[in-house]
Structure 1
């Protein structure tokens, strides 16, 4: 965490902090990230002094805010976890007098600001530890991951689609669709989404071949959401090199072992939402 060198971070108040909290929470959860809220209570200095210390430590992306207690200040740390929050507090405690703090990871969309602050204030009141890490509210909801199979062979397409549908993928809910040609896939509207999207696609397809589809996907605004595996029967280094240079993430040589393919996809999907 790189401190904000300007030291001019504004301290938000209600109702602005509620709006910012909801916005940062939505952005963090949409990206499968964690946001951390830190509540700090100073016992030997004024709130203004605490705010001044915090302003010298926070990043430009962090958010300082007031609570209903004059001796408290809160900090929202987007895209950070508990370890980053502890490091932040260690730096603060080295410079400050007696303080206590509570830390809460935000991992569920139903986590409310007011309820969370009450929990954190209660923890500071009741716990003897200088820093209390609270259990987050709820469990991280499953991520919807789109999966598309593009292959001209209906039997192979069906087998591959069913295998992917039955994959055990904790933390992710796979929604699988199959397509027999490239054009129907591109015209389906199935690609217009912010969800992670795994595409397993044959290089030769009717109406619009796989490489053309690959180029079309990589030209879309949300192309970062696509993980694209090309399938081929031609073990050609030149073709593979061209596909990788065009944006493919992997290559599968037909025929391939289905169980090995499932293991590869599970590993790949884990990286998508972890």
Structure 2
């Protein structure tokens, strides 16, 4: 992969929970404006790796990390990294929708307000743009002042994506964002990723092989804390180089 187009680069990344090692020498390149799927059985390190990309693991006691994660040419683990700024640029959508117990409008305006935007006309514009980008505007434009908790699960997940987009990140990390959703809502989120990659770089953890095949440009297969292989998704699913990848994709284990 062309070095210049790398949005994110992990080099020799190791992670320990106390004395237990969870990631081993992970080397991974992520191209700008692409969707990268992280696949592998439960407990193989996919979500742990995802959380290293915006230092969410810093919140867990006893975690030690060695190696580098380079975002836009800067090592996010170097001294002096502004964590708040990093998490604004590299945002995360979690497995279960987690809207704040406030109105739909206030959910979206929350981040911009924290970052200093107070003018109502500007906030109105951000709320509308973010909801449109998340393919939710038409469904909620007449109920912006109603509680976000009244939305369906699929709508809540797209609301959380809109809330992320409101602070204008560069990278979207998605940790099994459709695992709690019904098939129709899942399809909407999948379609959304295809639209969003025109503006953002997306990395998604998924247990759904069909989903990885449908939406990703590149697939990375993790096993027991190791990155077994990474390649263009078509190649991973049709002619992987490692037998373990083929065994997992064809359902022989996992």
Answer whether TM exceeds 0.5 for this pair: no
Larger radius of gyration: 1
Q: TM-score, normalised by structure 2?
A: 0.29
Q: TM-score, normalised by structure 1?
A: 0.27
